[in-house]
């Protein structure tokens, strides 16, 4: 998406944080507006591009393609192309990404509790 100069202060700070904190590195791989939603949709099933698009309100084709490419590059999603006419492509989680499922479930439970607490405070 955005490109920044390799020697900029922001780029240097990011490299330092990734090097010094594994959590920052991990969040960088799954963070952002759409990645977790995509990964959660693929949690226990294989989906085609159109199915993913229908399940994620508001995401454009271009953004879904970009996010899937990043997830594939980071070895969290596998893209399988079938030699058919018309071509068929599907996406599934890698074993590495499947290791994150218990963490996502815990994060979701925490998020639900936190949202509920904030509602009660008002």
Digitized pLDDT (tens) for each residue of the chain, 122 residues in all: 456 677 778 777 777 776 778 887 888 888 888 999 999 999 989 999 999 999 999 999 999 999 999 999 999 999 999 999 988 999 999 999 999 999 999 999 999 999 998 888 76
Residues 100, 111 contacting (CB under 8 angstroms):
no
Distance CA 22, CA 9 (A): 20
**3-state SS, residue 43:** coil
Domain 33-121 -> CATH class: mainly alpha
Residue 1 has what pLDDT?
47
Q: What predicted TM-score, i.e. pTM, was given to this entire model? A: 0.81
Three-state DSSP at 60 gives coil
Domain ranges of the chain: 1-30, 33-121
What burial letters (b/e) apply to 5-43, b meaning 16+ CB within 10 Å? eeeeeeeeeeeeeeeeeeeeeeeebbeeebbebbbbbbe
Which residues share a beta bridge with 108?
A: none
């Amino acid at each position: 998406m955005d490109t920044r100069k390799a020697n900029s202060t922001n780029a240097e700070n990011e490299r330092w944080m990734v090097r010094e904190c594994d959590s920052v590195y991990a969040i960088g791989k799954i963070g952002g507006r759409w990645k977790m939603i995509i990964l959660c949709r693929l949690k226990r099933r294989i989906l085609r591009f159109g199915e993913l698009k229908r399940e994620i309100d508001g995401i454009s084709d271009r953004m879904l393609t970009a996010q899937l490419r990043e997830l594939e590059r980071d070895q969290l999603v596998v893209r399988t192309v079938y030699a058919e006419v018309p071509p068929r492509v599907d996406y599934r989680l890698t074993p590495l990404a499947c290791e994150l499922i218990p963490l996502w479930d815990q994060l979701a439970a925490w998020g639900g509790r936190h949202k509920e607490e904030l509602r009660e405070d008002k």
